[in-house]
Amino acid sequence: MDFLKKMNVSIDYETTAEKRWLEKKAEKTRALPLADFSFSGRGSLERTPEGFVLSTNAEADDNNTRPASMIKLNFEDEDWSEYNRISLSVHPEATGFPNFYFHFRLAGGDKSYGHAPSVIPNRWNQVVWEIGEFAREKITSLSFGPVLLGCPPEALPDVKFYFKDIEIQKVAPDHVDGWELGDRVAFCHSGYFPAAEKIAVTGEAKADYFEIIDESDGSRRRFPVKTAESELGSFYILDFSALQKPGRYRLALDGRETFAFVVDEFPYRPAFIKSIAFLKTLRCGDDVPGVHSPCHLNSYTFHHDGRMVPNHGGWHDAGDVSQFEICTAEIAHAVFETADALPDGKLRDEVLAEGRWGVNWLLRTRFGDGYRAMAVLYSIWRPNVLEGIENFTRRNVAENGPFENFLAAGAEAAAARLYKDRDPVFSDWCRRAAEEDFWFGVEGRKQGLYTKRWGPGAAAQVCGQGALAAAEIYLLTGDARYLEQGAEYASVVLSCQQRKLPTWDKPLRGFFYKNPDHAQILNYEHRGHEQSPVCGLARLLEVAPNHPDAAAWREGIELYGEYIKATADVALPYGLLPAYIYDTRKLDLNDHTYSKTLYSDEEAMASLVAQAKSGIKLADNIYLRRFPIAVSRRGYHATLLSKAKAVSACAKVLGDRELAQIAVRQLEWVLGKNPFASSTMYGEGHNYHPLYVAFSAQMIGALPVGIMTRGAKDAPYWPTANGAVYKEIWGHTTGKFLGILADLLAIYK
């Protein structure tokens, strides 16, 4: 992308997990028999001496269906237990497509295991997929083929796929499940603030010291290797916090050397720039070179009174190129937060421009009466020529939701303040919209409104966001009405907080319940908003420190900080914060997404209870989980980073360096300090996996939904297999990442 070139940022394919996988030496190989096969879906299949040739057409043919063309190899309970990897080569022959999205499905017994890689057209792609965690004694079939996502205007619909070298292999397996590290060194691939702790972790060490190598002159500085025991296992701690000199370094231990990292006043600068570049590639309705031409130009949102607005713009939600107001509003606000923390210069200009792209969508898709576009609900490429208003786009119905209006109001107010001198006309438009949307949110909450898709919002979340928006508009306008309303919402937030130590075996306080009745603890399984109540209190305290309620706001923030500090050691030595507290008597299936055809309600509830009970017992029926519980939507960067954003906001307003360090540790987990020694941001650090992008080639700077869990275990799981939702790119996680960086920039500047 031009932006990356301009900012002198690139990626090193030599350090990727994909290259490492392809270079693994196969200890044993067996070609799969191709005699017993079948074909289903669109197109025609030809058997060749080398494999197969599939000819098909990529055009969308109905409302929102993604047709597939699938080849199925059939086996009679074959025993593959000596093999742990599938490998094949595929060559897509096509014009105008940047990428093709494939589905693989391995079946054995009553179980199946999927993989959804992306392959690049007009070249041979070797697809490898490790299957060691799947029972392989009775394999019955292997299916593979493209899922067809429509034809963008720049492409031709007729496509052809060549397959060869279809085989199973035995290779040294990746570590994919659990806390163990082996000889891997887990550290933050981006680097460290000079004044912050600097700790790496490994599972094996022979020497009693390690060295930090200064790349500028080759000098070496020794530090002692320490040992640590925790509930997660035995580890070796490599602590070089005493190193505070800015520079570029490598860590050396027992003949092992890490890739380089920095000690710098802004060590996350490359990750930050890549995140902004990712948002540019995630734009909807824009010409994104190498990704797509202007898209969704034929999509509209309809008001119940007959009006409609075009809803292209903002940022796509994820790999399926849908779009949601909640994510676009949160991302825009986070982008403006980071711009606010940056000094004047070209980088700040780029960041402000990207925030404006998101806010423009919020402005263009509001109807001026509380109703607004909530989503772009189609996920295929369709022609941009409309023949009347087609049925598929009529599903995009405007709604009036207080949480969504508060999100928009906060982002619009931030934009108005930062653009006040740069573009007074745009700034004034943003201010007017922010004020209107805020009061629409206030009225909507009084009326008990909520959107159909997301259902009733927790009071802690909605009022927290309302308090945040009120604080932003008060800072912009100085109008005391907003401070008064924000204070009212803050009192609701505080009434949702556990303020006294409960009579548990391991009591905790400072966390939030959904509502003032304290019936259910606030928690999330997928999209995370734990920051909403905390950031509402923190922002009010920042803009109105002399308010009569300021002491109560501060106390609520300090109580939350107490809760964070009390639970910060449950995943040592990684420093990962736990997810949530669960009461197994009060789990709500409405909080969890799952297929009714795959799970009955009874099965789903049994799974949730089993997962909760594998956590840390606090009292009878009360458990603290390191990872969220979920039936289907597993992958937890968003829940983690929403908590981390709450922590960084607390750290900033309280001036608490301990909380700031805890927030930093969560970014370190995302960027390499995890059991897989894998940065999960594509293009940042090293050993990052290919992600689930579906419509495009890999996007630099993308963060996925995140590291997940397996079964009922409360432990990390990061397989080599690709797929939704855990490895799906997601703007929501990037927004949370940027919001944390904004606070850290202010704290460590």
Question: How far apart, in Å, are the Cα atoms of 653 and each of 306, 557, 649, 736?
Answer: 46, 9, 6, 18
Q: Residue 301 phi/psi, 5° resolution?
A: -110, 135
Cis peptide before 573 (omega within 30 of 0): yes
Span 24-30, mean pLDDT? 96
Three-state DSSP class for residue 348: helix
Q: What pLDDT score does 608 carry?
A: 96
Sketch out the chain's domains with CATH numbers: 25-170 (2.60.120.430), 191-263 (2.60.40.10), 269-748 (1.50.10.10)
Q: Which tens digit of pLDDT belongs to each residue from 353-373?
A: 999 999 999 999 999 999 999
Selection from 346, 410, 277 nearest residue 684 by Cα? 277
H or E element, residue 104:
strand 100-108
Three-state DSSP class for residue 468: helix
Selection from 685, 675, 684, 718 nearest residue 702 by Cα? 684
Is residue 319 predicted with pLDDT exceeding 80?
no
Beta-ladder partners of 283: 315
Q: What pLDDT score does 338 carry?
A: 97
Which pLDDT band holds residue 4 (cuts at 50, 70, 90)?
low
Is residue 389 predicted with pLDDT exceeding 60?
no
Span 4-15, mean pLDDT? 70
Is residue 479 predicted with pLDDT exceeding 90?
yes
Give the DSSP per-residue string, 486-512. HHHHHHHHHHTB--S--SSSS---S-B
Which pLDDT band holds residue 729 (cuts at 50, 70, 90)?
very high
Which pLDDT band holds residue 6 (cuts at 50, 70, 90)?
low
Q: Residue 574 phi/psi, 5° resolution?
A: -75, -25
Q: Which tens digit of pLDDT belongs to each residue from 600-609?
A: 999 999 999 9
Q: What pLDDT score does 269 carry?
A: 95
Span 127-139, mean pLDDT? 95
Q: In whole angstroms, what is the distance from residue 529 CA to residue 641 CA?
A: 9
Least confident of 390-399, 513-522, 668-677: 390-399
User: What HEC string does 531-581 produce?
Assistant: HHHHHHHHHHHHHCCCCCCHHHHHHHHHHHHHHHHHHCCCCCCCCCCCCEE
Residue 622 near residue 581 (C-beta atoms within 8 A): yes
Span 92-102, mean pLDDT? 93
Which pLDDT band holds residue 318 (cuts at 50, 70, 90)?
confident
Q: In whole angstroms, what is the distance from residue 94 CA to residue 652 CA?
A: 52
Span 467-475, mean pLDDT? 98
Q: What pLDDT score does 5 carry?
A: 63
Which pLDDT band holds residue 696 (cuts at 50, 70, 90)?
confident
Question: How large is the angle between the packed helices 637-654 and 531-543, nearest 10 degrees?
Answer: 20
Is residue 1 predicted with pLDDT exceeding 60?
no
pTM recorded for the entire structure: 0.96
User: With the C-alpha atoms ordered 725, 727, 728, 730, is the resulting torsion angle positive or negative?
Assistant: positive
Q: Which tens digit of pLDDT belongs to each residue from 106-132?
A: 999 889 999 999 899 999 999 999 999
Q: In whole angstroms, what is the distance from residue 604 CA to residue 165 CA?
A: 40
Q: Which tens digit of pLDDT belongs to each residue from 200-210?
A: 999 999 999 99
Q: What pLDDT score does 152 carry?
A: 87
* CA trace torsion 66, 69, 71, 72 (10° rounding): 40
Q: Which tens digit of pLDDT belongs to each residue from 584-624?
A: 999 999 888 888 888 899 999 999 999 999 999 999 999 99
Selection from 494, 492, 513, 493 nearest residue 502 by Cα? 513
**Average pLDDT of the chain, as a whole number:** 94
Which pLDDT band holds residue 8 (cuts at 50, 70, 90)?
low
Residue 593 near residue 526 (C-beta atoms within 8 A): yes
Show Cβ contacts of residue 517 under 8 Å, excluding neighbours closer than 6 positions: none
Give one word for 169, left, alpha or beta, with left for phi > 0 and alpha for psi -120 to 50: beta
Give the DSSP per-residue string, 614-665. TSEEEETTEEEESS---SS----HHHHHHHHHHHHHHHHHHT-HHHHHHHHH
Residue 139 near residue 105 (C-beta atoms within 8 A): no
Q: How many residues does the chain have?
A: 749
Which pLDDT band holds residue 666 (cuts at 50, 70, 90)?
very high
What whole-number percentage of the chain has pLDDT above 90?
Answer: 84
Q: Residue 200 phi/psi, 5° resolution?
A: -115, 160
Is residue 63 predicted with pLDDT exceeding 70?
no
What whole-number percentage of the chain has pLDDT above 70?
Answer: 97
Q: What pLDDT score does 701 carry?
A: 95
Own/partner long-range contacts of 13-16 (Cβ < 8 Å, ≥24 apart): 15/259, 15/685, 15/686, 15/687, 16/686, 16/687, 16/688, 16/690
Residue with tokens 């040739």: 53
Is residue 10 predicted with pLDDT exceeding 90?
no
Is residue 438 predicted with pLDDT exceeding 60?
yes
Q: What pLDDT score does 495 carry?
A: 98
Residue 575 near residue 687 (C-beta atoms within 8 A): no
Is residue 400 predicted with pLDDT exceeding 90?
yes
Question: How large is the angle between the packed helices 459-477 and 424-447, nearest 10 degrees?
Answer: 150
Which pLDDT band holds residue 62 (cuts at 50, 70, 90)?
low
Is residue 277 predicted with pLDDT exceeding 60?
yes
